Structure formats: structure tokens, C-alpha cells
């Protein structure tokens, strides 16, 4: 675990005045090293008979973590203390994965060992290939990902024991190493093309692009501009504190489920359009808007409470300022579109105009709604040749580094408890059972 200044402890007092009684409570305040301190309410029900109430967890810290810090008001994202802008500019994805997992940037020697370990695990059990044949060819690749990643626990029995650090380590390497292979196989399967085996002399993103787009009938030429842009996209998606899918992985892990099952649960949660599925939804929205003169119509719909339409790729639970990842992606889009030609340029210009108009609109200003990581990523991925259905798969591929790091951090906690939230019950009290022939 990374060394960091020891988080301290204080006390806070709360006066409760509800219509039944007045209560003065002393509650411990646990100090954070960055961001808000927390009120420790673990004894609240035992000592005062109350639950806290926070659907959506807007003000709830579910755990201690030293991996990622977000300051939503300032639009700051740090991984183990390094800003996302610095990492996107100076690191590559495997170095960021190492940082997330082990807490420090690797030395040359540590990086060489890590690369070797990842390379050892890029292939999947040949038997797994038959698993793909059970899917329809038109299956959504995310459906395949959820199924195949969960099925890894049926193949890798020597890395299921979560109490064994060595097995946890091998499972972590396998997941990071195999996600590109599994993702590319999901794409090839839906295209009816043969699977392409990984080549370990290639970089992580370059290997994935080759498994995605090479065919046996032709020689494949890597494009360093695309490999570098994709590697940067992976960095930007690697981890993001306790978001919905990471919280899903932690909750599944708290029951001591095996790591492959936990990551499959995270993939399922990420799939939703309110979360990782938004990148796919942004592209569909931009294509539906079609031209700049229709942007106003869609902004009006987004403002309209009677219309369920939301501006996809906008807004964020934590960021109430620019999502720093969106800024980096907007710059990357310029580079990729220059390299790939201007076919996606109109869509990019539409997105830029939509961002400009939304950021000048009082509805978005009042609610501090800014473009998030999903707003520009889809345009870049489509320009690279990825079909829209693969966008969230790439998000899951990159986020596996974060999920695995957060899972390891949780499993390494000295005290682990199963996650088991309570509720505010609003249903019937006890009532008599009425036999069916007596019911009205």
C-alpha cells in the first residue's frame, strides 16, 4: 500500500431534534489526507437507533482508499497523487496500471518484470473460444464480455483463492492482460472473422488494435498515432474513485466472490447508459441531432422536465466543473481526426458547437453540467474504426486496471466485512393472512 500521511481522527457532535425526542450525539470525525473528512456513523444505529439515509450515496463514503482522488469543484483527478493530465502526457497505460495497483510509479526493473508478467497472460485458454460460439453473431459485445469474463473463473482455478496473495496477484495480471484479447475476440466473433492471437512483442494498445483490425488475408501495419491515442484513452478511463461499477466490484468482492466474478459484475454495471454506456449513447445522440441547426431543439429537450431526454456525455455526480479527462480527449480528437482524415470531422464540429451552446445555457450553468469523459471519446473511437457497440467494451477494458486495484485494496484491508446496506422501510406493518376464497 502506498505510503501517505497518516489520516487522523477528531470528534464532532450532532444535535438531533425529531418530533419524538432530542438527542445530542458525539460522533468520531475521521480525517482525510485530501478532500472532505468523514463522520463515522458506524455506531449510530447501535447507540441511537437511527439509520443514515442517502439513496445514490451523494454524501456517503463507502470505504477508505488511497488510489484515486477527485476534487469535483476544481475538476481535479489524481491517481496516487499524480494528476491525470501529467499521466496522460508522460505515462503509458501499463505504467498507470502499475501505479494504481502498487501505489508507486515503477522503476525500469519493476516495469520490465510487470511487462513480462502481463505478456505471459495475454492468451486465453483455447477451450474458451468454444464459449463464444454459444452467442448469436448479433450479440452486443458487452453481453459477450459479461459472460466470458465471468466464465474465466471456470478456467483459472489456480487464481480463485482470494485469501492467497499470490493467487490474487496472478488473477490481477490475468485480468489486465486478457481483457484486450477477450474484447477483440468479442468484436471478431460479431464480424464473423477469425480470432487474432496476441503478439507479445507489441505494446498494450498496439496489440489490441492488431487483434481488432488485422485479418489473415493481409499484412497488418500498426499506426503509431492511433496506438498512442488509444493508449491515452485507456489511461483516461483507468480508474475513477468509487463510481457505480467500482462500487459494484467492491460489493461483490465483500462477499468473497472470486475476482473474475467481481470484474464481470463491474462490467455489467458499467454497461448502463447513465455510466459507461454513455459513450455509445453520445454517438447515437450526435447522429440523431445531425446538424448544428438542430442543437437548440435538443438543448430545449434536455431542459424540459417532461422530456426524459438527457444530453448524453454531460453532467457528473462528482464533477461540478470540467471533467479533466474530457479536456484531454478533446485535444486527442484533433490529433486523431487529422491522422484519420475528416470523415468524423462534421460530428466533432457538431460536438464542439453543442458543448459551446450548452455551456452558455443557464440550465446547464445553474446545475454545473459540463462535458464528461464520455462526450468526446466516442468520436475518437469511431474515427479509429471502432463500431459504436465496442465503445463501452473499451471503457471496461481500461477500467479493469482500476477495478482490480480497488478490489485488491479492499481484499487487503485488515478488517473486511460484507457490504450490507439497510433501508428506510415504507411498506405495510404486520397483517393477517386472508385465504383466497375470502379475498374481495
The verdict on 264 binding ligand SDX (CB under 6 A) reads: no
Q: Which of 240, 176, 239 is nearest to 205 (CA)?
A: 176
Name the minimum Å distance from CB 394 to ligand SDX: 13
Write out the binding residues for ligand SDX, residues 290-309 only, by CB under 6 A: 302
Q: Which of 372, 377, 392, 406 binds ligand SDX (CB under 6 A)?
A: 372
Half-sphere exposure of 153 (CA within 13 A, CB side): 16
Handedness of CA 86, 112, 116, 198 (dihedral sign): positive
Write out the binding residues for ligand SDX, residues 198-257 only, by CB under 6 A: 240, 243
From CA 355, how far away is CA 76, in angstroms rounded?
A: 20
The verdict on 311 binding ligand SDX (CB under 6 A) reads: yes
From CA 146, how far away is CA 271, in angstroms rounded?
A: 9
Alpha carbon 296 to its chain centroid, in Å, reads 31
Let me know if 316 is a catalytic residue.
yes
Q: Are 100 and 67 within 8 A, CB to CB? A: yes
Q: Parallel, antiparallel, or unpaired: how do β-strands 21-30 and 9-18 relate?
A: antiparallel
Supply the DSSP symbol for 12: E
Name the minimum Å distance from CB 243 to ligand SDX: 3
Write out the binding residues for ligand SDX, residues 38-77 only, by CB under 6 A: 56
Q: Which of 185, 226, 202 is nearest to 384 (CA)?
A: 226
Q: Which of 169, 199, 292, 317 binds ligand SDX (CB under 6 A)?
A: 317
The verdict on 406 binding ligand SDX (CB under 6 A) reads: no
Q: Which of 111, 275, 320, 327 binds ligand SDX (CB under 6 A)?
A: 275
From CA 389, how far away is CA 287, in angstroms rounded?
A: 14
The verdict on 98 binding ligand SDX (CB under 6 A) reads: no
Question: By C-beta, is 227 or 406 nearer to ligand SDX?
Answer: 406
Q: Which of 147, 259, 266, 315 binds ligand SDX (CB under 6 A)?
A: 315
The verdict on 181 binding ligand SDX (CB under 6 A) reads: no
Write out the binding residues for ligand SDX, residues 339-368 only, by CB under 6 A: 367
Q: Binding residues for ligand SDX, how many (CB under 6 A)?
A: 22
Supply the DSSP symbol for 344: G
Residue whose beta carbon is closest to ligand SDX: 315
**Which of these is catalytic: 79, 316, 323, 361?**
316
Three-class SS string for 343-381?
Answer: HHHHHHHHHHHHHHHHHCCHHHHHCCCCECHHHHHHHHH
* Residue partners of 420: CB distance under 8 A and separation at least 6: none
Q: Which of 83, 348, 396 is nearest to 234 (CA)?
A: 396
From CA 250, how far away is CA 259, in angstroms rounded?
A: 10
The verdict on 4 binding ligand SDX (CB under 6 A) reads: no
Cα 122–87–213 angle (5° rounding)? 40
The residue range among 60-68, 140-148, 152-160, 310-318 that interacts with ligand SDX, by the rule CB under 6 A, is 310-318
Phi, psi of 282 (to 5 degrees): -65, -45
* Backbone Cα Rg of the chain: 24
The verdict on 373 binding ligand SDX (CB under 6 A) reads: yes
Q: Which of 274, 287, 300, 365 binds ligand SDX (CB under 6 A)?
A: 274
Task: Spell out where 21-172 has E strands.
Answer: 21-30, 38-39, 68-71, 76-79, 82-83
Q: Which of 149, 249, 264, 312 binds ligand SDX (CB under 6 A)?
A: 312
Let me know if 361 is a catalytic residue.
no
Name the minimum Å distance from CB 272 to ligand SDX: 8
The residue range among 2-10, 89-97, 151-159, 269-277 that interacts with ligand SDX, by the rule CB under 6 A, is 269-277
Name the minimum Å distance from CB 283 to ligand SDX: 12
- State the catalytic residues: 316, 374
Residues that bind ligand SDX (CB under 6 A): 56, 240, 243, 274-276, 278, 302, 310-318, 367, 369, 372-374
Amino acid at each position: 500500500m502506498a505510503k501517505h500521511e497518516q489520516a487522523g481522527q477528531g470528534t464532532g457532535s450532532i444535535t438531533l431534534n425529531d418530533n419524538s425526542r432530542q438527542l445530542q450525539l458525539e460522533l468520531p470525525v475521521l480525517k482525510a489526507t485530501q478532500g472532505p473528512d468523514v463522520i463515522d456513523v458506524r455506531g449510530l444505529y447501535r447507540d441511537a437507533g437511527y439509520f443514515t439515509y442517502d439513496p445514490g450515496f451523494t454524501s456517503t463514503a463507502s470505504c477508505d482508499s488511497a488510489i484515486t482522488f477527485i476534487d469535483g469543484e476544481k475538476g481535479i483527478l489524481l491517481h496516487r497523487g499524480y494528476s491525470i493530465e501529467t499521466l496522460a502526457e508522460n505515462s503509458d497505460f501499463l505504467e498507470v496500471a502499475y501505479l494504481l495497483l502498487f501505489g508507486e510509479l515503477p522503476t525500469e526493473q519493476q516495469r520490465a518484470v510487470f511487462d513480462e508478467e502481463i505478456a505471459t497472460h495475454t492468451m486465453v485458454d483455447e477451450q474458451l473460444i468454444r464459449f463464444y460460439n454459444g452467442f448469436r453473431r448479433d450479440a452486443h459485445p458487452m453481453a459477450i464480455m459479461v459472460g466470458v469474463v465471468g466464465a474465466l473463473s471456470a478456467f483459472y482455478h489456480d487464481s480463485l483463492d482470494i485469501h492467497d496473495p499470490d493467487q490474487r496477484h496472478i488473477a490481477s495480471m490475468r485480468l489486465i492482460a486478457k481483457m484486450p484479447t477477450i474484447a477483440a475476440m468479442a468484436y471478431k466473433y460479431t464480424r464473423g472473422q477469425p480470432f487474432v492471437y496476441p503478439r507479445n512483442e507489441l505494446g498494450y494498445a498496439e496489440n489490441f488494435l492488431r487483434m481488432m483490425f488485422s485479418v489473415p488475408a493481409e499484412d497488418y501495419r500498426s499506426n503509431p498515432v492511433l496506438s498512442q491515442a488509444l493508449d491515452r484513452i485507456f489511461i483516461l478511463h483507468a480508474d475513477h474513485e468509487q463510481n457505480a461499477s467500482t462500487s459494484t466490484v467492491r460489493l461483490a468482492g465483500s462477499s468473497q466472490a472470486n475476482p473474475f466474478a467481481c470484474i464481470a459484475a463491474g462490467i455489467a454495471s458499467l454497461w448502463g447508459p447513465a455510466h459507461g454506456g454513455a459513450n455509445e449513447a453520445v454517438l447515437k445522440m450526435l447522429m440523431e441531432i445531425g446538424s448544428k441547426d438542430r442543437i437548440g431543439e435538443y438543448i430545449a429537450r434536455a431542459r424540459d422536465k417532461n422530456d426524459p431526454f438527457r444530453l448524453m456525455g454531460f453532467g457528473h455526480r462528482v464533477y461540478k466543473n470540467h471533467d479533466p479527462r474530457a479536456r484531454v480527449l478533446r485535444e486527442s480528437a484533433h490529433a486523431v481526426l487529422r491522422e484519420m482524415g475528416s470523415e468524423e470531422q462534421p460530428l466533432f464540429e457538431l460536438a464542439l458547437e453543442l458543448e459551446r451552446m450548452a455551456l452558455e445555457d443557464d440550465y446547464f450553468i445553474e446545475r454545473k453540467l459540463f462535458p464528461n469523459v464520455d462526450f468526446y471519446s466516442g468520436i475518437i473511437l469511431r474515427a479509429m474504426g471502432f463500431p459504436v457497440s465496442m465503445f463501452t467494451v473499451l471503457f471496461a477494458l481500461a477500467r479493469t486496471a482500476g477495478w482490480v486495484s480497488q478490489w485488491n485494496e479492499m481484499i487487503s484491508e485488515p478488517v473486511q466485512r460484507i457490504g450490507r446496506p439497510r433501508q428506510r422501510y415504507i411498506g405495510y406493518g404486520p397483517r393477517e393472512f386472508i385465504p383466497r376464497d375470502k379475498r374481495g
